[in-house]
Structure 1
Amino acid sequence: MTASTANYLWSVQDVLGQGATASVYRARHKRTGELVAVKVFNLASYSRSYQVQMREFDMLRKLNHKNIVKLYSVEELPSKQKALVMEYCSGGSLLSLLEEPENAFGLPETEFLIVLQCVVHGMNHLRENQVVHRDIKPGNIMRQVGDDGRSVYKLTDFGAARELEDDEKFFSIYGTEEYLHPDMYERGVLHKPQEKVYGVSVDLWSIGVTFYHAAAGSLPFMPYGGPRRNKPIMHKITTKKPAGAIAGVQRTEGGAIEWSYQLPHSCQLSQGLKVQLVPVLAGILEPDQDRCWEFDQFFTATTDMLKREPVHLFFLQQAAAFCIYMHHYNTVSIFFEEVASETGVAVPQQHLLYLGHELPLEGGMKVVNLPPTSPSQPLLLLGRGPDAGPPGLAFREPETPVIPSRFDVVADYSFSKAVVGVVHQYLRIVRTLHTQRELLLQGYYNYMMKMRRECEQATISITMITMRLQACMGLEHRLRALGQSTLESPGSAENGNKLKLIREHLPMYAAGIHKFQKRLEHLLIEQAKLAEGLANDKSCQKMEVLLEKIVVIHQQYRKDRQIGKLGYNDEQIHKFEKIHLSSHIKRVKALFREDCLQRYKDVLATTRMWASVLEEMQSQMEDFSCFSRGLLADMEMCEEQQNKGLDAALLSLQPRTAGQEPGDSPRDKENIVFRMHDLKQEMEALVMELQCNNNVIESLGAVNSAVDLKPSQAQPSTL
């Protein structure tokens, strides 16, 4: 059966939504075939005053914004019923998106931010036009899907809207129970007499409930049995809510209310976004209209939130992922402080890597100059000191609902829908654990390569110190051969002792560095073997197959619910499917606990051992770095003393006016001069040789570092 106006037609079966006063259909333009949404008002709507009937038309004509559904025209059916022809949104409503089982625990972070942005911008346009919506809820937020697959959300259903300035009040009741401000709920739902008036803040309460629903997948205020079955407790929860609480749940009949000041652990939002969002929810979910945030404060806070960019960070030693929201104009110093606040690692102990490269950052740099990051390609944080802490499991296993013992098509459908949502949550956790395993393996590979480069640099330092030591020792020996009297100075004996100590200690440090290098090669082999073994892990694919089987049963249960009364054979099939569903749930849990989770724990145990070894190695390498700097300082002092001795020897060769002493004959002086010239030439040649060797060693080190910094080429089969 079809219906039509002068320019549009539709099937009465093609319903997009229904309300108390109207139904919305998907329609087409008779000439172009363009899809539109047509809102047809029923007879009950005409019992309202003419002014109220025309209010929605007037509102939509007045508003013009990309986050508000557009009004194309107002037409009439042959029955004279009014019809609003509006923009068609292909993605359904936000409510329909939240009712999909995969969103049972809330929207993904990227999608939630789009919802937040669109609703904030749409509401800002309403306030600029002094409009209060009075029925904000997920069902009245439509989703348009663009050609690029990105969502755009639009406010719709302005049947309850009216013009209202910030300081104006109204008395009439509109809205939907679960999203209704407590003051309006008391009179409109509980029918208690009261003389309260309402202001624009009632929209903020509805927005708060909507945002919580979108973030968590459930309503914030839930009495036992549900809000529609236990209305007095629903009102009690919303009105007796402590300041700062954003949720209240009654889990048992007549039981206490559990208050929450944070979003659920199960939601998909990062801790970094929760830190920004929770204060906003606490500010607008305030039942006292006088204490509730005003729209200016709401827009300021949400605009600040939306202007921030996420920086993804993976803390290697804790095996923990972080998402830190920063303004692009913030300095790196502020970013370091945020990292310290999130991770507990003090700023001096933070060391960052990106794609295997060390990331030297100056505090005055802007955050906008940080490299692009994502959950799979984050900045890698190497923390030092006790704050680094042992790794832990940053998730909780989902709770599976109890399977209904009796045959009931409605209860079984609800159960299967809940199970699909829970298994989606299991799958998300499995994928997260796989991603973190890869980040751990890649991160420790980069850490090992960093230590190997430091060992190579230490080897170069030892080589250079050895060559300089040999030069100093040779020069000391030659100078002494020229005559002890020319070298007597207060520091000559001390210099000799320093050179002797350096010569004794260098082999020990060289042996220690060599031991580190062998240990690193062993760790790299371990890492490669572990990565190769994990590459064959199919737990994620197995979980996906189990999810598909559970979804098939859920789809069958949806059909059974629509049919209602099943025949004998269909009922038996339904019961067999429940047995299969129970078996699939057990396999999901076993796969998660015994396969995926156990592998992850094994990786954590192995990387904890690697961390201990690398921490000790890093500490000793820092000690050697201090030692080598001290050696070079001692060498410079020795060279300075030798230069003074050489100057004194050359000065002693000047002609004397008094009587000559032994060795001062022209022949003796000539021999000494020749020997001094030879010594000078040898020193110059040695300096040139040292410089040449240094250049060669540094160039080889640079080549090795360049190769090492490409782990994808170094071990393509493992990571």
Structure 2
Amino acid sequence: MANTVENFIPFELIELIERGQPSCEVHKARRTDRVPTDEETIAVKLILLPADASSRTEKTSELDLKLKVILGLNHENLVPHLQLQTRSLPLSNNGVLIDCYCVLMEYCQGGTLHNAVKRLDYNPELYAKKWTRQICEGLKYLHENRIVHRDIKSGNILLSSSDLPTCTIKIADLGDYKQIKSAVTKPNEVSHSKGTHDFMSPEMMLGEIDNTDWNIGRKTDIWSLGCVVIQLLTGTHPRYYRRETGRAAVELHGLQIVFFVGSGGLPDIPTDISSEANDFVRSCLQRKPVDRRTAAEMLEHPFLVM
């Protein structure tokens, strides 16, 4: 599929935005088929392909099959994907060309939600309401299209511009999505161990359990949404503490969070928030997926009524 589409988009890389996994980078790029305007700027995710021709062909076909679904998505609260390409690019210092699978996307000038929350110097709950509603709208669309994101976090949510009062929130990084086959998630249909510990649901940490109450599906994104809302309200990533009588609380990190949440723990929920915000977060953080509301139902929650 890559490079077989009409209207092939030429581009040149401008600067590295993020280096993720060893074989993956995201760059700011410029379309060379456009006159100089803001619209010429795009984001390009580069997935480095194997040097061996057979392995490269196999990897390209695998990515085509997975990512072609994303090209068909169209919602204002999702980052638009423009095109898939394979190209040889000079990524190393010595100028040697490296074969890459290129995912061309809209460039969001406002950066990540992770960084934006640090700039909220007043009324964070007002922004939390507005931005959470937009995230919910995006999740509702994904879930209606039988897509589970699996890695909802503030770093994967982007702002269309740096003007916080007017920007549009967009869900990004659908590279680890899973498309399910029916309206109801079936056992073992979505694998576990995807996502980021601070935002990961109990069922993703524990893996599939032989019980339909614990199927990994759309509701795993709802848990992660609750963690994002905590960050919007506090300005910092979700924090986890082990508390024992007579001892100071101990903050947990990494795999400690996995064991803590897997055994029933919750991220710390701030006490200085409205009752509506508190109930919204707790509704997202129900331990069993079956007890959480859907994205469509969360949109009806009083916290999101503007």
Superposition TM-score tier, normalisation by shorter sequence: 0.7 to 0.9
Q: Is the 8 A contact 1:238 1:287 kept in 2?
A: no
Any idea what SS the aligned residue of 1:63 has? Answer: coil
**1: CA distance, partners of 2:159 / 2:179:** 25
Which residue is equivalent to 1:28?
30
**1: CA distance, partners of 2:170 / 2:228:** 14
Which residue is equivalent to 2:149?
133
Distance 1:145 1:235, change over 3 A: same
Distance 1:166 1:279, change over 3 A: farther
Structure 2 counterpart of 1:217, which letter? Answer: G
Structure 2 counterpart of 1:67, which letter? Answer: N
1:144 aligns with 2:160: yes
Q: Is the 8 A contact 2:109 2:162 kept in 1?
A: no
The match for 1:75 among 58, 74, 85 is 85
Q: Is the 8 A contact 1:106 1:216 kept in 2?
A: no
Q: Is the 8 A contact 1:8 1:30 kept in 2?
A: yes
Structure with the largest fraction of helix: 1
1:120 aligns with 2:136: yes
The match for 1:168 among 182, 185, 196 is 185
Deviations 1:603-657 (A, max 9, x none): xxxxxxxxxxxxxxxxxxxxxxxxxxxxxxxxxxxxxxxxxxxxxxxxxxxxxxx
**2: CA distance, partners of 1:111 / 1:296:** 20
**2: CA distance, partners of 1:71 / 1:215:** 30
1:42 aligns with 2:53: no
Distance 1:131 1:264, change over 3 A: same
Deviations 1:272-318 (A, max 9, x none): xx2222212111201212322234432332xx54343xxxxxxxxxx
**2: CA distance, partners of 1:213 / 1:287:** 19
The match for 1:186 among 173, 183, 206 is 206
Q: Is the 8 A contact 2:31 2:41 kept in 1?
A: yes
* Alpha-carbon distance, 1:238 to partner: 5.5
**2: CA distance, partners of 1:107 / 1:162:** 36
TM-score (norm 1): 0.34
What percentage of residue pairs aligned between the two structures are identical? 21
Distance 1:52 1:112, change over 3 A: farther
Q: Is the 8 A contact 1:55 1:159 kept in 2?
A: no
* Alpha-carbon distance, 1:111 to partner: 2.4
1:227 aligns with 2:253: yes
**1: CA distance, partners of 2:257 / 2:86:** 44
Which residue is equivalent to 2:291?
291
Distance 1:177 1:167, change over 3 A: same
- Return the index of the structure with the highest Cα Rg: 1
Distance 1:155 1:49, change over 3 A: same
Any idea what SS the aligned residue of 2:228 has? Answer: helix
1:61 aligns with 2:71: yes
Distance 1:307 1:237, change over 3 A: closer
Which residue is equivalent to 1:89?
108
Unaligned ranges ≥5, structure 2: 1-7, 89-97, 242-249
Structure 2 counterpart of 1:35, which letter? Answer: T
Distance 1:276 1:6, change over 3 A: closer
Which residue is equivalent to 1:306?
304
**1: CA distance, partners of 2:259 / 2:74:** 36
**1: CA distance, partners of 2:10 / 2:32:** 6
**2: CA distance, partners of 1:148 / 1:299:** 21
Alignment of 1:349-388 (within 5 A): none
Q: Is the 8 A contact 1:119 1:154 kept in 2?
A: yes
Which residue is equivalent to 1:618?
none
**2: CA distance, partners of 1:19 / 1:278:** 33
**1: CA distance, partners of 2:72 / 2:221:** 19
Distance 1:179 1:130, change over 3 A: same
Q: Is the 8 A contact 2:49 2:101 kept in 1?
A: no
Structure 2 counterpart of 1:306, which letter? Answer: L
Which residue is equivalent to 1:16?
17
Deviations 1:415-452 (A, max 9, x none): xxxxxxxxxxxxxxxxxxxxxxxxxxxxxxxxxxxxxx
Structure with the largest fraction of strand: 2
RMSD of aligned residue pairs (Cα, Å): 3.1
Structure 2 counterpart of 1:9, which letter? Answer: E
Deviations 1:676-708 (A, max 9, x none): xxxxxxxxxxxxxxxxxxxxxxxxxxxxxxxxx
**2: CA distance, partners of 1:46 / 1:115:** 40
* Alpha-carbon distance, 1:51 to partner: 6.5
Alignment of 1:422-461 (within 5 A): none
Unaligned ranges ≥5, structure 1: 188-192, 249-259, 266-270, 309-719
Any idea what SS the aligned residue of 1:151 has? Answer: coil
Which residue is equivalent to 2:279?
279
* Alpha-carbon distance, 1:144 to partner: 1.0
* Alpha-carbon distance, 1:151 to partner: 1.5
* Alpha-carbon distance, 1:50 to partner: 5.9
Distance 1:287 1:18, change over 3 A: farther
1:157 aligns with 2:176: no
Q: Is the 8 A contact 1:142 1:154 kept in 2?
A: yes
Distance 1:227 1:43, change over 3 A: farther
**2: CA distance, partners of 1:219 / 1:163:** 28
Distance 1:118 1:95, change over 3 A: same
* Alpha-carbon distance, 1:202 to partner: 0.7
Structure 2 counterpart of 1:135, which letter? Answer: D
Structure 2 counterpart of 1:7, which letter? Answer: P
Which residue is equivalent to 1:111?
127
**2: CA distance, partners of 1:117 / 1:296:** 10
Q: Is the 8 A contact 2:153 2:199 kept in 1?
A: yes
Deviations 1:7-55 (A, max 9, x none): 10013xx222232252111100113241110111124796986665235
**2: CA distance, partners of 1:283 / 1:56:** 32
Deviations 1:314-351 (A, max 9, x none): xxxxxxxxxxxxxxxxxxxxxxxxxxxxxxxxxxxxxx
Structure 2 counterpart of 1:54, which letter? Answer: D
* Alpha-carbon distance, 1:148 to partner: 9.3
Distance 1:110 1:83, change over 3 A: same
Which residue is equivalent to 1:217?
235
**2: CA distance, partners of 1:281 / 1:287:** 12
Structure 2 counterpart of 1:150, which letter? Answer: T
TM-score (norm 2): 0.75
* Alpha-carbon distance, 1:137 to partner: 0.6
Distance 1:306 1:182, change over 3 A: closer
